[in-house]
Amino acid sequence: MTQTIRVQRLPHSVGLALPSYATSGAAGMDLLAAILEPLTIAPGARVLVPIGLKIAIPAGHELQVRPRSGLALKNGIVLPNSPGTIDEDYRGELQVIVMNAGREPFTVERGMRIAQAVLAPVTRARWEEADSLEATSRGEGGFGSTGTAG
């Protein structure tokens, strides 16, 4: 099923492509850096990279912003709040918090594919208090209680 995301282009993104899927089977759309000058991120530093677009997400959906695996593996470029959530009622500019977890400075260039976005349905929850919960085989075991062996 295809959903439409309405988009308003900001002046600093003129000439850049809209987010798109790199392949027919891709789940994420590439987000391009809408910067006017190269931006160097020192090791351990975080920056906010503008995408240059405002969007209207379809009702009942969110836009999840995720890192690109190649940038993470090759350069240590991660998104510290991954996945980031863009709510359907947000109308500000899309921006991505980018962190250099690598050992070398990393330079972001204009139009670089800096992150990916996945449109996802949102299920709303209702909380209900209970005096007890159903038992499970795991019980209260958490944080490594199931081990690491396959």
| CATH number of the domain that residue 115 is part of | 2.70.40.10
The whole-angstrom separation of Cα 40 and Cα 120 is: 32
Number of structural domains found in the chain: 1
- Does residue 148 carry a pLDDT above 80? no
Query: Residue 5's pLDDT band (boundaries 50, 70, 90)?
Result: very high
In-domain check, residue 141:
no
In-domain check, residue 26:
yes
**Distances from the Cα of 6 to the Cαs of 19, 129, 140, 146, 148, in angstroms?**
12, 39, 45, 44, 44
- Does residue 103 carry a pLDDT above 90? yes
- Does residue 145 carry a pLDDT above 80? no
In-domain check, residue 28:
yes
Q: What are 9-66's pLDDT values in tens digits? A: 999 999 999 999 999 999 999 999 999 999 999 999 999 999 999 999 999 999 999 9
Contacts of 49 (CB under 8 A, 6+ apart): 33, 35, 39, 95, 96, 97, 98, 108, 114, 115
Sheet bearing 20-21, strands edge to edge = 20-21, 29-32, 113-121, 61-66, 84-86
Structural domain boundaries, residue 107: 6-121
Sheet bearing 93-100, strands edge to edge = 6-9, 46-56, 93-100, 77-78
3-class DSSP assignment, residue 70: helix
**Distances from the Cα of 20 to the Cαs of 53, 111, 144, in angstroms?**
13, 13, 38
In-domain check, residue 27:
yes
